[in-house]
Each structure stands twice: as C-alpha cells, then as structure tokens.
Amino acid sequence: MSSPSPIRTRIKICGLTREQDVDAAVAAGADAVGFVLYAKSPRAVSPERAAVLARRLPPFVTPVLLFVNAPATEVIAASACVPGATVQFHGDETPEDCWTASDRGRIPFLRAARIPLGEGAARFDLIEYAQAHSHARAILLDAHVEGYGGGGKAFNWSLLPPSVDCHLVLSGGLTPANVADGILQVRPRCRTLAVDVSSGVEADGPGGSPLRGVKDAGKIQRFIAAVCAADAAPASIS
C-alpha cells in the first residue's frame, strides 16, 4: 500500500519592502508575498512601490496587499496597480466593508481575525466570525496586540475551536523554531492551513531586535524548511 501524499501548507512572507527580499522569498519557495499598504506600519510601502516589487514575481506566486480600514476606492485603485493581487483586510472592516472594497468579490480577499492573547483566545468565537466573513477566501489568525498586526506575538493555538469549516492562515509570532508546532496544532482544525510570517524572518538589528521591513534570507529558508518538515511529518508515521 502506498503512503499518503504529504499535506501542502502554503506559505506567505509578509512585510516586504526591498527587491532582494522579494527575490529571496521566491527563491526559497514562498507561495505568496505581502506588501503592507498601511501608512502607520514600519513596513509600509506605497501602491506604486508594491507594484514595482510585485513585477519581480514569477507566475504562480501571489502578491497580497494588506490594508487597515482603508476606503473602498483606495483598495480598488491599489489592486488595479498590482495585477493578480489578493487583498488582506487587517483592521475593523465589517463583512459589508470587505465586500464593497473587494469590488463585490471581484478581488479575492482574506480577512484577519485578531485573536486575544492568553486565555482570552478561548472566548473568541472563530466559527461565528468565519461564517460572518464567508466571502473571504480564508480567515487569517493573528494575535490581538496594540495597533494592527506586526507585533510578533503568538496566541494560544490550543484554544482554537476543534473544527472550523473554512481555510485558515496562521499568523502572529511565527518563527522557524515554532512554525512546525503551530501547523501540527492548527491544521487538524480546518479545511486547509497556510502560514504567514513577517517579523519572524526579519534581520536582527542592534540588541537583537528585528529590523522591521528588512528580511533575512537565511531565516526565510529555515522557516520554509520547517514548514516542509511539518508537512512531511504525518507521512512518516506508520
């Protein structure tokens, strides 16, 4: 009897600002790359800059544009600058806001869910949230920190519901060291799982703090290798 094929976890490298980091993500095998179009973020780029960076992508690597509470006209205009882009809503957007800003579903989109840290994760109704945002291609799980994302904090994955009938993207505090554990804990709870990393693959600055918006090619490679190892793990169990 042949062994089952390994499960494939899709990978997004987010918060890219430099050409060499886009190239490093592609070379390492990323499925998607993210550009932050939120001016208050230290990783922010303009739509025009995102378009320049996205033109480096080969076929079948998806550019993702992250917005926080942006007007629908701004989202639609920016998406027109980056052909083939998926949009990620990472603020306080309602389902109606997402539907309007995606040009009534013409632009594929993800919706971020801000999961409380600590025991508060158990009180977040992810099933209801996913149902409310049923037009989203996936629900992205990020830790609820001050501001909107990019905090490098991981929530308690074990407190998520045991079964969520949608595609999930695990984010928030992921690193090459912990992503395999996150995949193995969350993947059984959903249709399919993808992962999204930003600060966990950034270069180290003075004192060891991450240089926001500057990626480390070696960390990207180690992160993707860890994801691949987690994907292969079930097949290795007899």
Active site residue 166: no
* Residue whose C-alpha is closest to residue 10's, from 235, 236, 228: 228
Q: Please pick, among 14, 98, 166, 190, the residue that the annotation labels catalytic.
A: 14
Pairing of strands 210-215, 202-204: antiparallel
Active site residue 190: no
Sign of the alpha-carbon torsion through 202, 176, 115, 37: positive
**How many Å apart are CA 53 and CA 172, to the nearest integer?**
24
**For residue 78, which amino acid is it?**
A
Q: Please pick, among 97, 142, 216, 231, the residue that the annotation labels catalytic.
A: 142
**How many Å apart are CA 120 and CA 122, to the nearest integer?**
5
Q: Which two three-digit tokens encode residue 71?
A: 């007007």
Number of alpha carbons in the 13 Å side-chain half-sphere of residue 230? 26
Q: Which two three-digit tokens encode residue 202?
A: 């950034």
**For residue 12, which amino acid is it?**
K
- By annotation, the residues acting in catalysis are 14, 142
